[in-house]
Amino acid sequence: METGMRPAHYALAPGSWRDYVTILHPPYTLWHLSYVVIGAAVSPTLHLDRLGSALLAFFLAVGIGAHALDELKGRPLRTEIPDRILIAAAVVSIGVAVALGIIGSIAIDPWLLVFTGTGGFIVVAYNLELFGGRFHTDFWFAAAWGAFPMLTAYWANAGSFTVLAGIVAVLCYLSSAAQRALSSRVRRLRRQGHSAGTGAVIAGSDEIKAALAVPERTLQALNLTVVLAAALALLLRL
């Protein structure tokens, strides 16, 4: 019987198909895909087919690939998915995302190869903590998961950058930096609660749950804010 805390508020009971839902980190995946929508929506030109391709590529690379690699290294979500399936999911999803980027660079703009190469590199370097974890930092999280998808979608639609793109990229960076700060604290507290369990240390576990309340509510509010902002930005362009 599980006596510790769940690894995340959205984590389902471990085992079976539920692990494959949990590993997608649904709220966070939707959060980061919202940056793609925002980038396309604030672009001077909006191409829905390019937005759709960018959303698919980032869902594959981040929603599946990055999270599979993250679970492979340390099992933070405590799923029972075999290593070989996590590896296969990461290789296939990131590979298809890169292929979509290459196709886009041929059909739309050769400069998209730069975004494709950068994205493919950072998703692996960050999640596997390569180069001594040099890319696994607060800065790179906010840049790669916040500003980068917004800028990629903007360029894919406009073919250039403007001052507006820079301002919006900073806003996305700051939003992602806030997510990183809050989620790191939440993950640390939940791990403490899982280790504590129940019984003789129930008071300590209750204290951890109380400490989780504010940062988790803040995360959920920020998540909803970014998603609604993306939906509004897109609706205003349609």
What are the CA-CA distances from residue 235 to residues 87, 175, 232 (Å)? Answer: 38, 21, 5
Cα separation, 133 vs 156, whole angstroms: 30
CB-facing half-sphere around the CA of 200: CA atoms within 13 A: 1
Residue 187 pLDDT: 87
pLDDT confidence bin for 199, thresholds 50/70/90: very low
For the chain, give the percent of residues with pLDDT over 90: 78
Least confident span in 87-101, 110-124, 191-205, 208-222: 191-205
Residue 195 pLDDT: 57
Cα separation, 159 vs 180, whole angstroms: 30
Do 104 and 50 meet the contact criterion of CB atoms below 8 Å apart? yes
Residue 5 pLDDT: 75
pLDDT averaged over the chain? 91
pLDDT confidence bin for 209, thresholds 50/70/90: confident
Residue 220: both structure tokens together: 């959920």
Work out the average pLDDT over 167-190: 94
Going 206 to 208 to 214 to 217, the CA torsion angle's sign is negative
The pTM assigned to this predicted structure is 0.91
Amino acid letter, 118: T
Least confident span in 15-19, 44-48, 125-129, 209-213: 209-213
pLDDT confidence bin for 221, thresholds 50/70/90: very high
Residue 8: both structure tokens together: 């995340």
Residue 2 pLDDT: 45
How many Cβ atoms are within 10 Å of 92's Cβ, its own excluded? 14
Least confident span in 7-11, 91-95, 207-211: 207-211
Amino acid letter, 133: G
Cα separation, 211 vs 209, whole angstroms: 5
Over 50: is that where the pLDDT of 35 sits?
Answer: yes
Residue-range domain boundaries for the chain: 16-237
151 or 207, greater pLDDT: 151
Over 50: is that where the pLDDT of 202 sits?
Answer: no
